[in-house]
Amino acid sequence: MHWRKFNGEPIVLPIKEAVTNAIISETKKGIKLKVCIGTDSQVKGNETEFATVIVFLREHNGGFMYIHNERTRFKYHLKERMLTEVAKSIEIAYELCDLFIEHNIAMEVHADINTDPAFKSNDALKEAMGYILGMGFAFKAKPDAFASSCCADKICN
């Protein structure tokens, strides 16, 4: 998996090591962190592009994020694509959760799924919520899921 910073700078370390270093660096500065992980996708012709983000929120002091993009030619139905987004977020959350526990950092998994039944993405809400909560992670959906619906969405476009 290739990760990068928002400015495009590649992250050459394994993501777990890069996140550890970021946590240690911010903690040494006395900054309290919260982490939100989310994924969004866009269908572009024959390809579906996924963008997964790890958003580090600095208490009272902005934030930064790490980004991973992935493209596939697999054809997804909408609900399947929504649940694939959630699976990608859970995959990275699971890989990193021991770090967040060790350093006492709150972490949420954000799903780009609308809580309003009038939207088609709402069909995947119950499964996504069950999947995320079942893994023991805090869950946010639209309109509160900014990591997926704002941060990852901007990277996908």
Q: Tell me the DSSP string of 55-106.
A: EEEETTS-EEEEEEEEEE-----HHHHHHHHHHHHHHHHHHHHHHHHHTT-E
Residue 155 has pLDDT above 90, yes or no: no
Going by pLDDT thresholds of 50, 70 and 90, the confidence category of residue 91 is very high
Going by pLDDT thresholds of 50, 70 and 90, the confidence category of residue 142 is confident
Tokens 């572009």 belong to 44
Is-contact 107 90, C-beta < 8 A?
Answer: no
Tokens 């580090």 belong to 56
**For position 121, what pLDDT does the model report?**
76
**For position 62, what pLDDT does the model report?**
93
The more confidently predicted of residues 18 and 127 is 18
CA distance 47 to 70: 10
CA angle, 30 then 33 then 35, to 5°:
165
Residue 97 has pLDDT above 70, yes or no: yes
Chain segment 54-73, per-residue pLDDT in tens: 999 999 889 999 999 999 99
Residue 157 has pLDDT above 60, yes or no: no
